[in-house]
Structure 1
């Protein structure tokens, strides 16, 4: 598989890590999940991110998950591997393993201790130098999770200074103005990199209109994100918004902090994409009321989609 570049676009689905009831990695569900995402039209996959329960995996398990996903993908789309770690040695070691196994690139979030612009730029300079020029990396900007706020001007400096930074995983909130600032900078001669957006797709139509290249996030119906991005890239923002609106209540419900992954896995299991909705402990469990609400939202979503198709 070729390496990740600044021209990447479309939807890179954030893949959860499937487990069985006993907490073991479910290899069979990795295979069915990958096949579903690709058949739905995903342009790439991202594994072992913050919603992949990577922090609950041992080093050997992380390698096993990467190996299984790469085998299932079989070079059909690029795979990005989340390698964020408090320790640089761990980050670099996992990155090298990922690239050796066929990853297109790695994703790195800032460590929570970073506070000043100089510290943030220094950290990513160290990361870029340690990974080397042949390992493309994604800068994950997710202040709600990391506690690190990165100003657009700092991202512009990192892009300028480090050619191996080829993509921004944009998850600031509110952050639409940041996308506009980055695109304005590239329009006047700055280096343009790919911008894929997260936050469960909550702002995807607006992000695409601001100049984002697609989405890199999870949602139990990735076909929504794929459709929205394709409509927007074709210039039909009304169709993009109509499709997005049909899914919005479930997107909103799935975006609940602390419960979102459990909800997403429940729907993925309900759809037959994975065999089991289990999270590895510790993790929340859904109450009967949660499941009833999800069922209601999916029923109403199906009706909205039918009406949209009939229009």
Structure 2
């Protein structure tokens, strides 16, 4: 399994009635692969994992794996606030056939670094598939520090980290841990170019849902050391990155996907549809991206 390059944190499209829109999900996957996306995440935070039933999760994962058919790795979100529940969820992800589990730090409970160490080791020891750590303290209130990551990286089933802290010093500390067995992935679109130029293996991206080909081009240029080209692509995509952050993810993303015919603009409550004042800006950005050459 090669976790690198342009990886999409897939949205979960819904119908106007709030049900899974499996047709839109299928078309989203095919568009990602056609655009050069090199990995997919199902039921992460962008995919509204918190709002999915167990049966819905199984349906999405099964469809993604059947459709992808090994063309790119498929990761599935399984993190929670309790170790036993996270382990059970991760075992189920393994049973469904996912290539790896994306396990976010426990939210709300605010564990110590020793607690995080024990949490992830327990899951990696017993879940039966590769584990990707996911650190996003802005959402969880819990920060997985580089020293703890260094201890976890030695575990044979812990294969990568998705790091959403945008501080360049944090990324540099993690890049020192890179090896053939442990990859470092950016989880922040706005600083992804910088992280890739500095040596990150790839990016798990939100914006990739809307612009897979331009985002792949950015990743290729940055990973290839073509700084001028990478930075030019990054400047082109920054307005989209900014627009996708005007309200909580995936609220703006769901609106943008609806403009592309991929599901309803409404996420599930307590998230609501994008505020009217932001809609035209996103529409214009997507039109400009579509019209411009990669």
Give the TM-score, by structure 2 length. 0.91
Distance 1:120 1:87 in 2: 11
2:259 aligns with 270
2:38 aligns with 43
Deviation by residue 1:170-229 (Cα, 9 ceiling, x = unmatched): 11132x22222233345xxx7751111112x10011101221011112112132321111
Of residues 107-116 and 292-301 in structure 1, the stretch that sits farther from structure 2 once superposed is: 292-301
2:225 aligns with 235
Structure 1 gap ranges (5+): none
* Secondary structure of residue in 2 paired with 1:212: coil
Deviation by residue 1:122-167 (Cα, 9 ceiling, x = unmatched): 2212222232xx410000011111111222111111112x111101
Residue 122 of structure 1, aligned match among 107, 118, 121: 118
Distance 1:204 1:62 in 2: 28
Greater Rg over alpha carbons, structure: 1
Residue 150 of structure 1, aligned match among 144, 147, 150: 144
Contact 1:197-1:207 at 8 Å conserved across structures: yes
Contact 1:205-1:237 at 8 Å conserved across structures: no
Contact 1:114-1:120 at 8 Å conserved across structures: no
* Secondary structure of residue in 2 paired with 1:81: strand
Deviation by residue 1:252-311 (Cα, 9 ceiling, x = unmatched): 1111242x3121122222123x143221223222233221222233355567x45xx7xx
Residue 69 of structure 1: how far off its partner (Å): 1.5
Query: 1:211 and 1:130, CA in 2 relative to 1: closer, same or farther beyond 3 A?
Result: same
Contact 1:159-1:191 at 8 Å conserved across structures: no
* Secondary structure of residue in 1 paired with 2:101: strand
1:179 aligns with 171
* Secondary structure of residue in 2 paired with 1:51: coil
Query: 1:122 and 1:99, CA in 2 relative to 1: closer, same or farther beyond 3 A?
Result: closer
1:166 aligns with 159
Residue 244 of structure 2, aligned match among 226, 248, 254: 254
* Secondary structure of residue in 2 paired with 1:52: coil
* Secondary structure of residue in 2 paired with 1:163: coil
Distance 1:183 1:10 in 2: 15
Residue 215 of structure 1, aligned match among 190, 203, 209: 203
Distance 1:205 1:35 in 2: 25
Query: 1:59 and 1:249, CA in 2 relative to 1: closer, same or farther beyond 3 A?
Result: same
2:132 aligns with 138
CA RMSD between the two structures: 2.0
Instruction: Report whether the alignment pairs 1:81 with 2:76.
Output: yes
* Secondary structure of residue in 2 paired with 1:295: helix
Residue 24 of structure 1, aligned match among 6, 19, 22: 19
Distance 1:300 1:37 in 2: 19
The total of aligned residue pairs comes to: 291
1:8 aligns with 3
